[in-house]
Amino acid sequence: MLAGCGTKQAGCANIAANGSAGRPSHAEMTADVASAKPVPSDAVPGVVLPDTEALWIHDPVGRDYPIWVALPAGYAAHPKQRYPVLYVTDALYSFPLVRSLRNLVGQHGVNLEDFILVGLPPQQGLTSKQSRSRDYTPSTPVRRSPDDFSAEEYGGAAHYRDFLATTVLPMIDARYHTDPARRAFAGHSYGGLFGAYVLVTRPELFHTYILSSPSLWYDDHVIDRIERNYAKDHHALHAQVLLSVGSYETFGPGPRYFHQNNMLMHNRSFAQRLRSRHYEGLKVETSVIEGEDHFTVYPTVLTRALIAIFPGTGPYVSG
């Protein structure tokens, strides 16, 4: 958990929303440094991210989740403006990454439109592996060997999806100046699998789905069976899908290649299946990111996707 987001309070904890509020003067800082005694390294305070809030939301089944929100720097100065929102899974990694991309690449709305970032961290008290293995997977898989599916619990995607739909998304829309019609999702690996699951079960939750190296192989491609069930009763699927994978996420001789799952082929097949349905309102874009593997591809995917879905006012500047 990010420093500054780990203390549970009722409601929410504002994390340096004003940036400089309460900051000591230069003279005070100089005096403090001159008189300060050495502090043990384990007592050094963590980094606090400006314009960021940490919320706590209770799931009625007895789970508590932190929710992290990063607002654009000019949010307070534009109270009538409505912002698109990007929700990211695996927030321990993706939240600071996307926030940095938005601020650096975005250049205050010039290269990227300002947007509200919402991070979805693990359930309080669980490790990332425990929480994501349960919340992001749509079924309980068959374990064929001791090495298969080593987490304690799987198959909670339907509950987590509905928790987002009934609790998290309405709370964010009520608390912040959002544009619900421009709500986007981004997930990688199991997070991408969860996004694919939401896409073919409750696609209306998000306008855009950024699916990076989704684990479509999971449980003998259960996502394909779920999509077929959706297709039986639906002719429309109003969503924009950006489906990406690294060029090394296939079989090959080097250490960066996969040896079990040909995710490059899986992504291609999933995109072809979606297109073959001729769903009304569906737009699918695919890309293979050259020179990237399963661990390195996500930053590039996010950068390209943000430029595509949230273009700024321009003209684009790169230096």
| Sequence-separated (6 or more) residues with CB below 8 Å from residue 11 | 55, 56
The pLDDT value recorded for residue 180 is 97
Burial class of residue 159 (count of CB atoms within 10 Å of its CB; 0-12, 13-18, 19+): middle
CB-side exposure of 223: number of CA atoms within 13 Å? 25
pLDDT digits (tens, 9 = 90+) for 173-194: 999 999 999 999 999 999 999 9
Rounded distance between C-alpha atoms, residue 84 and residue 61, angstroms: 30
| pTM of structure | 0.86
pLDDT digits (tens, 9 = 90+) for 253-303: 999 999 889 999 999 999 999 999 999 999 999 999 999 999 999 999 999
| Ranges under pLDDT 50 in the chain | 1-36
Residues, the chain: 319
The pLDDT value recorded for residue 21 is 35
The pLDDT value recorded for residue 33 is 38
Please give the structure tokens belonging to residue 223: 């996502």
The pLDDT value recorded for residue 37 is 56
